[in-house]
Chains A and B, each alone.
Chain A
Amino acid sequence: MTFESMELKINGQSHRVEIEARKTLADTLREDCGLTGTHLGCEHGVCGACTVLLDGEPIRSCLMFAVQCRGSEIETVEGLAEDGELHPLQEAFKEHHGLQCGFCTPGFLMLAKSLLQADPDIGDEDLREMLSSNLCRCTGYQNIVTAVRSASSRMSQ
């Protein structure tokens, strides 16, 4: 086993980690950076619970090795709230009951953040299409869609 020392930039902060090349980004975030908000629901890239942003793009952190992320900006759910204040997406999820057990929620929040950044006026059909890349087993999705829609109008005000 060879360990590599590298720096990861997460939510604007630098984290030095000593990891094996085979360690996934998700495991590295959770085990080496103390950021357990990123969850693992399938580890084969389908459920999207582990979605984080890599240079602004949503990625499955279970399908990337941490060593592939050198020099990139990583955003996780822990970086959403600012100065203790919930992000408008987090507020909207709470207001519209867009979560139950909360396990898939970090992945949905990060996915939603990226797609509202890319297109604040995203249409309903495209929104559903994009959100269909993540799985939720509790909510039936309806309130997630409502929450993201509500956050998008709040954010564009």
Chain B
Amino acid sequence: MIGESYPRIEDDLLLRGEGQFVADLNLPHQLHMRVVRSNTAHGLLRGVDTSSAIIQPGVAAVWTGADVADIGPIDFRQVGADQMVPYRQPILAQERVRYVGEPIAVVFADNAYLAEDAAEMVVADIEELEALVDVKEALGEFDFQLSTEAYLFEESTGDIDIGFAESEYVQTLELTIGRHSGVPLECRGALAVFHEDTKTLEFLGAAKVPFQNRDALANMLGLLPDQIVLHESHVGGGFGVRGELYPEDVLVALAATRLDRPIKWIEDRQEHLVAANHSRDQSHSVRFGFDQSGVIKALEVEFFSDQGAYVRTHGATVPTLTAAMLPGPYRIPNYRVIGHVRLSNKTPAGTYRSPGRYEGTFVRERILDAVSSATGLDRLEVRLRNFISPEEMPFDRQINALGTPVVYDSGDYEQMLRRMVRHIDNETLTGELKERRSQGEMVGIGYGFFVEKSGLGPYAGARVEVRPDGRVWIITGDASVGQGIETVMAQICNDVLRVGMENISVVHGQTDEFPRGLGAFASRVTAMTGSATYEASLKMRDRIVELTAEILGAEESDIEFDGGYIGSRGKPEHRISFGELTSLSSGLSGRTDDSPELVVEEWFESTHMSYPYGFHIAVVRIDPETGEVFIERYLVSYDMGRAVNPMLIEGQVLGGVAQGIGGALLEHFLYDDNGQPLATSFMDYLLPTVAEMPEVEVLLSEDAPSPLNPLGLKGAGEGGTPACGAAIASAIDDALGRPGTVRSLPVSPERLRDMCKRVSVQVQ
């Protein structure tokens, strides 16, 4: 039933170790691909010597850029712009290498060990050029014609000049977010085979956006979409990173068509950390005006997004979302934003859970804290005075994001804030912290409020089938990256058909099973595919009612569903099972001749996104000697309109918080001045372990159902993440007793030690 914390139908296989992740799949006679990557951040590629590699045992082929020069670069999947087209990535480097990790050759051999041996024999002749690692400082040259600024855009609402003229105070801040990324625990991989007899390419290990990747591959390889089938199997985490179309995916598919053998590629972790999309890495210069009552009148933001070496499939998604979502829950009537998408010699960037919102929420909430500090008003009071009220919903931001106007569909931000303040007994808690500070402890509380977005359209489809064995099948074109969509779709369907969760199967991510689909991103599957599943289930119910009434000779209004049976009210002997229905209904009026089973397909369309929201509170203690931050308490309040499975939503929030805390304190893809990456293993790129994680308290609410879909659903994939940086920064400031101290994430131990020293110098 909807609203029930039902255990996941996905779990048994995974718990038994019977999951089928891409590395677990094999095909007879497969070749293993190993990628040779650039060790130089920027240089002219003079040549690649493969002569030693090709004669190694078990090697079938070695390709360099020249072998694939006929294949174009990888196109944008989202938010492309003409100016960015020249900055797309080729599948193997051609005349230049632009980041450490860029593929420059591939080796195909009988097994992974031999492929790796031979890859070490490939020698690249690279004339090193100066590497660009700080995009804010200067523009460089991308090639002889183009600068490293790939895209520059501006958005505004209201009148910024009037806003500043009306302001009693004007302040500026410089705020930066470090470079981090999703880093799913499963590395990327693919397995492809070309069937010569049918001229079709089968691609296994697809994830996230199988249909879009099918079309992109068809386009690049000169095949028709019908000639390519993508199969999604188990996926070991997505977070925006996994499942985008990368050079390696195209190379696997291409090699399958050219080498007459199946091709398997599984990357290792070191490769993943330099080759899969990075994210965040934005610096922001902000100017904001406000009055003595704490009301923000004007906000001007200029930001620089370090896109890395190429513009990949996401185009300008992250900067666009930053610009559109930065004002968050606050009215801010006059707003102007300028975004620079600039290239550097780092790994290319894309989306990562809560793209643009993690960055924007940090920036915005720092501003709210600064207003509090300048006016002497409480941090929470400043937020209350700037909130958009429920009466103003739907609230039109007058900015577009992902091709849709940003119109907040529903929300009661004040109610959530006040509820949380009561829940934690803020007055007592802040009093206790003050007392502890006076005893010499460095403890503090921080707040971060955010608006998320979810349910990106424009469409999602679902087919519901009752099969002769009585099982109900839900087939969708969308995808799972491990978040539990099978359970969620089954719950929505079961809420209507009452057939029992154990009798429902869900298919996703198979391009030969469904006409089309968008995929698992932008917290869209529950809201969009869930709505399609709901509508298909309703239609199926109507059909079953009609058929059963005819079979049982009952009134349609008396037909009820219970425990896998359909019966006539008050006549327990008059009931049939779903399986019986399929055979008994043969030839009846509700059946169409060409449908051997009961089948209903529905499409749900929405041109607007829905906007869930939430509030994070962090209580931290800092150790000025070690620079360590101990999170004593962490709370998240999240409103997703309606919870299909609260346990799963809580799980999403908890996981999101871990990633948000990682970005706030630990995770950082650092580079040296020559563009050499300094975090290429889990010894240097620090994912939070359980030892760094506080107990997180999650409070879900259903105050603001979305008016945009029949169940009031909003997405829940990203609500744990966006305000972590903001809340922790605010808490560290409070612990230091110096508002506005934290300007950069992550707050690494060395940065925090520096801050502590500065604060103590100021005190003396």
A36 to B568, CA, bound (A): 49
Among B625-683, those with CB < 8 Å from A are 647-648, 650-651, 654-659, 681-683
Q: Is the CB of B682 within 8 A of A42?
A: yes
Provide the residues of chain B in CB contact with A36, threshold 8 Å.
17, 21, 23-24
A141 with B481, Cβ < 8 A, contacts A46-B681, A101-B234, A102-B19 known: no
At the interface, yes or no: A71 with Cβ under 8 Å from chain B? no
Q: Is the CB of A140 within 8 A of B691?
A: no
Q: Is the CB of A142 within 8 A of B681?
A: no
Q: Is the CB of A101 within 8 A of B16?
A: no
A141 to B183, CA, bound (A): 16
Provide the residues of chain B in CB contact with A145, threshold 8 Å.
690
Q: Is the CB of A135 within 8 A of B655?
A: no
A99 to B658, CA, bound (A): 14
Per-residue contact bits, chain A 61-78, to B (CB 8 Å; 1 contact, 0 not): 000000000000000111
Provide the residues of chain B in CB contact with A94, threshold 8 Å.
7-8, 11-12, 15
Provide the residues of chain A in CB contact with B405, threshold 8 Å.
none
Q: Is the CB of A106 within 8 A of B651?
A: no
Number of B residues, CB within 8 Å of A: 58
Per-residue contact bits, chain A 20-54, to B (CB 8 Å; 1 contact, 0 not): 10110001001000011111111110110100000
* Nearest Cβ on chain B to A60's Cβ, whole angstroms: 12
A97 with B651, Cβ < 8 A, contacts A46-B682, A47-B682, A103-B236 known: yes
At the interface, yes or no: B235 with Cβ under 8 Å from chain A? yes
Provide the residues of chain A in CB contact with B683, threshold 8 Å.
44, 46
Q: Is the interface of B mostly helix, strand, loop or mixed?
A: loop
* Nearest Cβ on chain B to A149's Cβ, whole angstroms: 12
Provide the residues of chain B in CB contact with A27, threshold 8 Å.
112
**Interface stretch among A2-10, A114-122, A126-134?**
A126-134
Number of A-B contacts (CB under 8 A): 175
At the interface, yes or no: B695 with Cβ under 8 Å from chain A? yes
Provide the residues of chain A in CB contact with B11, threshold 8 Å.
93-94, 99, 102
A132 with B689, Cβ < 8 A, contacts A39-B186, A102-B11 known: yes
**Chain A residue at minimum C-beta to C-beta distance from B694:** A142
Among B2-53, those with CB < 8 Å from A are 7-8, 10-19, 21, 23-24
Q: Is the CB of A1 within 8 A of B654?
A: no
Q: Is the CB of B14 within 8 A of A97?
A: no
A78 with B654, Cβ < 8 A, contacts A20-B113, A40-B23 known: no
Provide the residues of chain B in CB contact with A99, threshold 8 Å.
11, 14-15
A132 to B186, CA, bound (A): 18
At the interface, yes or no: A143 with Cβ under 8 Å from chain B? yes
At the interface, yes or no: B693 with Cβ under 8 Å from chain A? yes
**Chain B residue at minimum C-beta to C-beta distance from A45:** B682
**Chain A residue at minimum C-beta to C-beta distance from B237:** A101
A112 to B17, CA, bound (A): 15
Sample 18 A-B pairs with CB under 8 A, ordered by A number: A1-B57, A36-B17, A36-B23, A76-B17, A86-B15, A93-B11, A97-B650, A101-B481, A103-B237, A104-B185, A137-B182, A138-B651, A139-B655, A140-B696, A141-B658, A141-B693, A142-B695, A142-B696
Interface residues of A (CB under 8 A from B): 1, 20, 22-23, 27, 30, 35-44, 46-47, 49, 76-78, 80-81, 86, 90, 93-95, 97, 99-106, 109, 128-129, 131-145
